[in-house]
Amino acid sequence: MYCTHRFTPIQLMKAAQEINGLLRGAFINKVAQYKPEQLIFLDEAAKDERTLSRAYGYSFTNARAYKKFVFIRGQRYTILPALSLDGVIALDVMEGSCTKARFREFILLRVVRLVLISLVQSFSLQCTIYWY
């Protein structure tokens, strides 16, 4: 009897165990009240010497797969973009990791300020905005 079993390495799909369909539906209903033009999305990303390291590889049967890795992190850079339907509307690139204070500063001084200025310009209102 000849039997061949070929296995290929695949990455597992991850599903959050904590997913709650009711809360998810409530969130979707809440977001649905806004127009797509009103939404702004934030996404933090980081890059260092280890960023492009692969976690999977191929090897012969009964042999380990090896790859030389860089264990020294090196210089780390973080990027914070604010995205809308118009593209990137605000951006901050920094050395090192993003702290809570730096993130808050980005939101208040770059994103909120930009949104307020665009609202003022679109309604042709005259007002003074004070920032501390």
Q: What phi and psi, each to the nearest 5 degrees, are found at residue 89?
A: -105, -20
- The answer to whether residues 131 and 112 touch, using CB atoms and an 8 Å cutoff, is no
Domain annotation covers residue 84: yes
Give the per-residue pLDDT at 92: 93
Largest CA distance in the chain: 86
Q: How far apart are CA 5 and CA 3, in angstroms?
A: 7
Q: What is the pLDDT along the chain (132 residues), one digit of tens a residue?
A: 555 556 566 666 666 666 788 988 998 998 899 888 888 899 888 877 655 555 666 767 777 766 665 555 668 889 999 999 989 999 999 998 888 999 999 999 999 998 888 887 776 545 444 444
Domain annotation covers residue 91: yes
Give the per-residue pLDDT at 103: 92
State how many domains the chain has: 1
Domain annotation covers residue 46: yes
